[in-house]
């Protein structure tokens, strides 16, 4: 079974454990992998924004979910990067969620594929029928409101209102209703 790792950096011969472990009991650095090509492609994104809505849903189905109009095109069209394929040498183990794996040691690269336009590749995966695609337009008003509240909470938890960063500008631009709600809630808590 192939394990994929995506990177904006080309020419890698090994995938090194450079990421923080998502396991709270583990302080070691890890390298992350997935057995799902589309999940790997979703990591070829703007790392300053660091926002992903592609993954394995609770029912085990691969899902691509948009939280704003034309999100997949906005985030991935024109982006390029490298998709690395690695074989498990016994050091890649299951991580915190379905189809996500990690290694605490460097893993040799078996193959590399240059991805010239991530959006095109994601749309081919979606067209192939192996993924459930949920466009923003197909959400009910109730679902949109639930997502907006979740985005508002994210904005507040990450202190994005006071940050001057690519991530805060992204959220202000693409989640304006959530941004407005966060500002109102933040102001309300300051007044109290």
User: Quick check: 103 and 33 in contact, CB under 8 A?
Assistant: yes
Q: How far is CA 9 from CA 6, 13, 45, 114, 157, in A?
A: 9, 11, 12, 10, 30
Q: Which residue would you say has higher pLDDT here, 89 or 190?
A: 89
The whole-number pLDDT of residue 24 equals: 62
Residue ranges per structural domain of the chain: 3-138, 141-191
What is d(CA 13, CA 145) in angstroms, rounded to the nearest whole number?
45
Residue 191 scores a pLDDT above 50: no
Per-residue exposure over 99-119, b if at least 16 CB sit within 10 Å of its own CB, e if not:
bbbbbeeebebeeeeebeebb
Q: What is the pTM of this model?
A: 0.83
User: Quick check: 48 and 24 in contact, CB under 8 A?
Assistant: no
For 72-118, write each residue's pLDDT tens digit.
999 999 999 999 999 888 899 887 677 889 999 999 999 999 999 99
For 167-185, write each residue's pLDDT tens digit.
999 999 999 999 999 999 8
């Amino acid at each position: 079974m192939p394990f994929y790792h995506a990177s904006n950096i080309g020419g890698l011969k090994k995938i090194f454990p450079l990421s923080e472990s998502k396991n709270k009991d583990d302080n070691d650095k890890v390298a992350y992998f997935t057995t799902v090509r589309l999940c790997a492609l979703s990591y070829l994104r703007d790392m300053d924004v660091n926002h992903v809505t592609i993954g394995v849903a609770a029912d085990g189905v691969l899902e691509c979910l948009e939280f704003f109009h034309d999100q997949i095109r906005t985030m991935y069209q024109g982006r390029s990067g490298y998709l690395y394929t690695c074989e498990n040498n016994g050091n890649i183990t299951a991580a915190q969620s379905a189809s996500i794996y990690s290694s605490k040691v460097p893993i040799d690269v078996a193959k590399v594929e240059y991805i010239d336009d991530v959006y095109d590749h994601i749309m081919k995966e979606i067209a192939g029928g192996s993924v459930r695609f949920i466009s923003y337009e197909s959400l009910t008003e109730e679902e949109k409101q639930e997502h907006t509240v979740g985005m508002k909470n994210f904005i507040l938890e990450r202190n994005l209102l006071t940050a001057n960063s690519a991530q805060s500008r992204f959220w202000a631009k693409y989640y304006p209703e959530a941004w407005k709600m966060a500002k109102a809630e933040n102001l309300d808590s300051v007044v109290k």
